[in-house]
Structure 1
Amino acid sequence: MAGHSQFKNIMHKKGKADAARSKLFSKLAREITVSAKLGLPDPAMNPRLRAAVLAARAENMPKDNIERAIKKASGSDAENYDEIRYEGYAPGGVALIVEALTDNRNRTASDVRSLFTKSGGSLAETGAVSFMFDRVGLVGYDAKVGDADTVLEAAIEAGADDVVSSEDGHEIYTAQDSLAEVAKALEATFGEARMAKLVWRPQNAVAVDDEAGEKILKLVDALDGHDDVQTVYGNFELSDALVAKLSGD
């Protein structure tokens, strides 16, 4: 998942800033509340809520914040959020999928469209680019849980479809209907995962030149910075030189 993974690795250094962390916690809390409202308020009985709690823990979100977000789902003051998917093209013609949770569809659509336009990209109709991605389950583990062969063997045994291992960790992909079952089997072997959720995985990565790559990352960063945007996926692949430049190597 080249584009999305590289974005996560490169751009989230800004997450260390207090303001960015506060915004991140707000997004994580929103997902927790929505997940708890759509199902049972028990992570053990609600796979989506469990994934949301895992994501929050991975970002060191305080336990009190997590519990408060779950309780908020059953309160009379709980906001109603709509789940919306936006699809569009970034500079260089690469495809982006933007997932949002919003209490004002018109505002969010206008803002997302504006961000695409300002970047030299364009927002498209739903379905325009999602056919270039597969909706799959993703279970993520840190590299320290085992070497690539050990994780691959366990993933096959658990019923997973694919594993991508690197120094940053292990990404284990499953059919979306098998996510909960595979995640449970892997947890028995390696312990709690750092993530277990449904994602959009690009079928093919599009290599972009450095000029386009910088523009794409600027757009993705702007989208990710919007309060209503939860996740951004792309099918782009950056050059090693640009990755090294942005990583400060």
Structure 2
Amino acid sequence: MAGHSQFKNIMHRKGAQDKKRAKIFARHTREIMVAARSGLPDPEQNSTLRNAIMAARAANMPKDNIDRAIKRVAGGEDVANYEDVRYEGYGPAGVAVIVDASTDNRNRTASEVRTAFSKLGGNLGETGSVSFMFDRVGSLTYPASVADADAMFEAAVEAGADNVESTDDDHEIICDPSDFADVRDALIEKFGPPTELGLQWKPQNTISLNEDQASTMLKLIDTLDDNDDVQNVSANFEIDDEIMAKLTAG
């Protein structure tokens, strides 16, 4: 039977409604350029680039913007040499936090991320200090309207996925990263493009936060998220719906 999602308020994903489109597009552009540099600038022969393009399309990024980013790399244009980096640390109440970033200046980004942790009750650790508490997974999200939970679960497992976490709003398909391309292609053929896709850090266990802890934790995530170099923030906390509603009211 299909699983039930327990992590809808844990992953802090790009594309949040309160983010400006220009900032979202800039980050997708950076992801596309990094992916294009990692192999051939052809999505048919570069699975990482294909994932980046599909994520950009899910965010309604115009095709011209996507094509322009790829052409800049393919044409050898003198653009910033971005690289992917990961930071790990602890937030308020011992919450484990992973920050994925793409930067052309590692020292600047590390300093800014460290400052954000320090100012908001956390501390930056060494690589590997918290990632052992997460599983690296492939994830695709579809609206609940495309299929009922059992039908989506059956299709996903047939495609090679490990599980489906369904709510009244959507289905999140989880798979091993090595199977992600096959699962992605099979589900797109059956259901069309997902609303979100990519590799994610899924926490193995979660920490429930009280109102004060939750308030500080959300401020930390927002501060990190506002950094242009930060692509994604993952953390192993859980906030009660009533507390979340109170903190986000207005």
Please give the TM-score of this superposition, normalised by the length of structure 2. Answer: 0.92
2:26 aligned partner = 26
Counterpart residue type for residue 146 of structure 1? A
Structure 1 stretch displaced more, 119-128 or 54-63: 54-63
1:236 match: 237
- Indicate the percent of aligned positions where both proteins have the same amino acid: 51
1:172 aligns with 2:173: yes
In structure 2, what is the Cα distance between the partners aligned to 1:100 and 1:27? Answer: 10
Which residue number corresponds to residue 16 of structure 2?
12
1:87 touches 1:97 (CA, 8 Å); kept in 2? yes
Report the count of equivalent residues: 243
Q: 1:89-108, aligned counterparts within 5 Å?
A: 89-108=90-109
Change (3 A) 1:12 1:196: closer
Distance 1:2 1:124 in 2: 25
Map of 1:184 onto structure 2: 185
Q: Note the residue ranges of structure 1 that are not aligned, 5 or more in a row.
A: none
1:135–1:199 CA contact under 8 A, matched in 2: yes
Displacement of 1:36 after TM fit? Answer: 1.0
- C-alpha deviations, 1:127-166, integer Å up to 9, x for none? 0000000111112212221111110111111111111111
- Give, in whole Å, the separation in 2 of the partners of 1:40 and 1:221: 34
Q: Alpha-carbon deviation of 1:213? A: 0.7
SS of equivalent residue, structure 1 residue 73: helix
> In the alignment, is the contact (CA less than 8 A) between 2:134 and 2:201 conserved in 1?
yes
Name the counterpart of 1:197: 198
Match of 1:115 in 2: 116
| Residue number in structure 1 paired with 2:69 | 69
Letter in 2 for 1:219: L
Partner secondary structure for residue 10 of structure 2: helix
1:84 partner SS: strand
The worse-fitting range, judged by mean Cα deviation, of 72-81 and 59-68 is 72-81
User: What SS is found at the alignment partner of 2:198?
Assistant: strand
* CA distance 1:4–1:44, change in 2 (3 Å): farther
The structural deviation recorded for 1:8 is 4.3
- Scaled by the length of structure 1, what TM-score is found? 0.92
Contact persistence 2:34–2:83 (CA under 8 A)? no
Q: Is the 8 A contact 2:13 2:232 kept in 1?
A: no
Separation in 2, partners of 1:46, 1:145: 28
In structure 1, C-alpha distance between the alignment counterparts of 2:118 and 2:169, rounded to whole Å: 33
Q: CA-to-partner distance for each residue in 1:193-228, whole Å, 9 max, x for gaps?
A: 223321111111111111111111110011011010
Residue in structure 2 matched with residue 40 of structure 1 by the alignment: 40
Query: Could you say which residue in structure 1 is the equivalent of 2:218?
Result: 217
Distance 1:236 1:226, change over 3 A: same
CA contact (8 A) 2:96 2:236 kept: yes
CA distance in 2, matches of 1:42, 1:136: 24
Does 38-47 or 202-211 show the bigger shift? Answer: 38-47
For residues 73-103 of structure 1, the C-alpha deviation after alignment (integer angstroms, 9 at most, x for no partner) is 1223132112110001111110000001111
Instruction: List runs of 5+ in structure 2 lacking aligned partners.
Output: 1-6
The alignment yields a C-alpha RMSD, in angstroms, of 1.8
The CA distance in 2 between the partners of 1:103 and 1:86, in whole Å, is: 15
Partner of 1:88: 89
Contact 1:54 1:194 in 2 (8 A): no
| 1:42 to partner: Cα distance | 2.1
CA distance in 1, matches of 2:50, 2:211: 38
1:136 equivalent in structure 2? 137
2:49 matched residue in structure 1: 49
8 Å Cα contact 1:224/1:230 also seen in 2: yes
For residues 216 and 182 of structure 2, what CA distance do their matches in structure 1 show?
39
Give the helix-richer structure, 1 or 2. Answer: 1
In structure 2, the CA distance between the partners of 1:4 and 1:43, relative to structure 1 (3 Å rule), is farther
